[in-house]
Amino acid sequence: MPLDKRDIPLVVLEALENYSKRSSDLFQIVNNDDALLRFEDMSDNPKHFFQFKDFKNTNNNQLLTISFKPRNSTDPTAYSTSVEVSKIEPHFKNWISLLERYKKSKFLDDPILRQYEAEFYQEFEIIDSDADTNSYPFQTQLWLDKYIDNTLKKLDINYPKNLPEINSIKADLEDLRETQTELTKKKVLEKLSRIFAKARKFGLKLLKEIYLEAQKELIKQLISGKIDLP
């Protein structure tokens, strides 16, 4: 049964609400039944997280149990501790600082994939003032859902099921389909750019199948906002 907010101490509830409003290109909020609130890094395969596990009252002090990974710059493992509500912020800021340092490091990154991803995002980038805060309207989300469904069918028909590159693209498409209603416009375009970058690296044939044929429609739907659903 979902936790009722009326069962949570107000100081804890207000703190969680404050953190739930945080946004960044470094992390995203994900649903997790084992946590009150959970953040994960924005990679294809998230490994870093910061979560609020539970709360308790000790000596009239409200404590939140937090878990995060990495622990610090010398220890990449996960760590858990109970902290007074008013003293959580330094832990969260330190975690963000570690994410920033990981992002800045280009060691072991794929430079070609990074280049392709940047090129696609530059083409799609929108200047809407709400791109960092609002999601796409309902009709655009319906269109994107249909586009993803059609693309997945093409991949199933035209490519073997045991190709890791294709499976990676399919996993990204599935993830976008499941999470798009929780994402800002900017995050949606970042995920699409990543998908098209992977397709381009795999080969131009695949890129043509999932991107070039839909390019004009994608731009119309996701950038200009003009909806044309059948």
DSSP 141-169: HHHHHHHHHHHHHHHHHHS-TT-HHHHHH
pLDDT one-digit tens code per residue, 159-175: 998 899 999 999 899 98
Is the separation of the CB atoms in 50 and 95 below 8 Å? Answer: yes
Q: What is the pLDDT of residue 225?
A: 62
Helical residues (DSSP H) of the chain, grouped into ranges: 10-20, 89-104, 111-124, 138-158, 164-179, 185-202, 204-210, 215-219
pLDDT one-digit tens code per residue, 218-228: 777 777 665 55
pLDDT one-digit tens code per residue, 131-152: 888 899 998 899 999 999 999 9
pLDDT band, very low/low/confident/very high, at 215 (cuts 50, 70, 90): confident
Give the mean pLDDT of 79-85.
97
For residues 160 and 163, what is the distance between their CA atoms, to the nearest angstrom? Answer: 6
Which is more confidently placed, 223 or 184?
Answer: 184
How crowded is residue 133: how many other Cβ atoms within 10 Å of its Cβ? 12
pTM above 0.85, yes or no: no
Give residues with Cβ within 8 angstroms of 45, minimum separation 6: none
pLDDT one-digit tens code per residue, 114-130: 999 999 998 887 767 78
Q: What is the pLDDT of residue 212?
A: 82
Give the mean pLDDT of 42-66.
92
Give the mean pLDDT of 18-45.
89
For residues 151 and 154, what is the distance between their CA atoms, to the nearest angstrom? Answer: 5
pLDDT for 1 beyond 70: no
Q: What is the pLDDT of residue 228?
A: 58
User: Hey, which residues does 54 pair with through a beta bridge?
Assistant: 65
Q: What is the pLDDT of residue 127?
A: 67
For residues 216 and 190, what is the distance between their CA atoms, to the nearest angstrom? Answer: 18
What is the DSSP-derived secondary structure letter of residue 188?
A: H
Q: What is the pLDDT of residue 129?
A: 77
Q: What is the pLDDT of residue 224?
A: 65
